[in-house]
Amino acid sequence: MSKYDKLFEPITFKSGVRAENRIVMAPMTHYSSNDDGTISDAELRYYAERAKGPGMVVTACANVTENGKAFTGQPGAHTDEMVESMKKLAQTIQQNGAKAVVQIHHGGRECPAELVPGGDVVSASETDSSDGSVHARALTGEETAEIVKAFGEATRRVIEAGFDGVEIHGANGYLIQQFFSPYTNRREDEWGGSLEKRLAFPLAVVDAVKKTVAEYADRPFLVGYRLSPEEPYEPGITMDDTFALLDALMEKELDYVHISLQHFWSKARRGGEPGRPRMEQIVEHVAGRVPLIGVGSLHTGDEVLKAMETDVPLIALGRELVMEPHWVEKIKAGQEDAIQTALRKDDRERLVIPEPLWKMIISTPGWFPFAE
């Protein structure tokens, strides 16, 4: 018996997909795909190094349309030409026993103009990007419906490539969240206005994805949804809005909902119970209706255990699996003292971190802890 046994209990999702333990590799941008969106050799090595332990690996977000690309070196799921290279990634993850899930995404107003055809950046309403560097125009109703359809088409490609599931990226200020937020959605058609109408786009995407799975998947295939529970600005998403979104998602028979937080224990600002951890409030609200994935600045085995005491059944590790690719194996082997929780300046090759990701880490002070 180890105190960490709880981390190694298998879980079977509603779809029938089974993960062998409760640790998930979080979807993290790595800036390392080829320029055309196909999977690079560096990317395959990076995932191979990290896929031996977690029960499930969620890949970096893949854009579902050409105008949805938000990062250089982002993998693509927007054309049928992507399927062959995606197959290699699925197999690389699965050969080590982890379930392989693709996060599907559209960047909306957060897409750099130089990555979008003709610099034609789009969002729910006319708005600037969060850093003010890009001006986005409002999508027409017809274009909005086309993007919904594109999420379904991307799902079909993920199925054809042999993955075990998709995670719909409704978090971190990207297009799906832009439609849900009153800050970025000031529409007056069927895609915006009231809370109910702001839910229309996220729920239409879920429906399109679920319909595709029903039509094309010949094996258990999971569908998850990632959301950010609150926005810092007004009028933005509050905890009460998040509870409404969760209730709507509960009706969609999802396999899980992934709560995107920078810090697992961060406290609510507006709505719900301000000053109390968001995750605790969400767990109480969901009340076991759907499995939740928690994430955010968890590094040691004890920190993960403490987070699971909130009754969150799954924990995603992001930066920690970059710094310690063999986290799960070390916990299992009783070597928790050997787990690395900070980077060293000469770690890139030893940790199999692709050069573009390493450059981004080095040039973004405070993103990763560094050992002196």
Question: What is the per-residue DSSP string for 53-89?
Answer: S-SEEEPSPEESSGGG--STT--B-SSGGGHHHHHHH
For residue 96, what pLDDT is reported?
A: 87
What does the pLDDT average to over 358-367?
Answer: 96
Provide the H-helix boundaries in the chain: 41-50, 83-94, 141-160, 175-180, 195-198, 200-216, 239-250, 278-286, 301-308, 319-323, 327-332, 355-362
Name the pLDDT band for 266 (thresholds 50, 70, 90).
very high
| Alpha carbon distances (Å) from 250 to 27, 230, 288 | 22, 18, 10
- Distance between start and end Cα atoms, the chain: 36
Q: Which amino acid is present at 46?
A: Y
Give the integer Cα–Cα distance in Å for 311 and 284: 9
* Domain map (residue ranges) of the chain: 5-362
Report which of 229, 128, 143, 213 is spatially closest to residue 180, judged by C-alpha positions. 229
Q: Say which amino acid occupies 325.
A: P
- pLDDT of 236 reads 97
Pairwise CA distance, residues 47 & 54, whole Å: 11
Q: Across all residues in the chain, what is the average pLDDT?
A: 97
DSSP 109: G
pTM above 0.95, yes or no: yes
Bridge partners (DSSP) listed for residue 152:
none
Residues 6+ apart with CB under 8 A from 218: none
pLDDT band at 256 (very low <50, low <70, confident <90, very high): very high
As a whole number of angstroms, the distance between CA 7 and CA 63 comes to 32
Q: Which residues contact 4 (CB under 8 A, 6 or more apart)?
A: 301, 305, 331, 332, 336
- Looking at residue 190, its amino acid is E
Active site residues: 174
Identify the CATH homologous superfamily for domain 5-362.
Aldolase class I (3.20.20.70)
**From CA 203, how far away is CA 194, in angstroms rounded?**
14
Q: What percent of the chain has pLDDT over 70?
A: 100
What digits encode the pLDDT tens for the residues 217-231?
Answer: 999 999 999 999 999
CB 230 within 8 A of CB 237: yes
The pLDDT, as a whole number, for residue 87 is 98
Neighbouring C-beta atoms of residue 235, cutoff 10 Å = 11
Tell me how long the chain is: 372
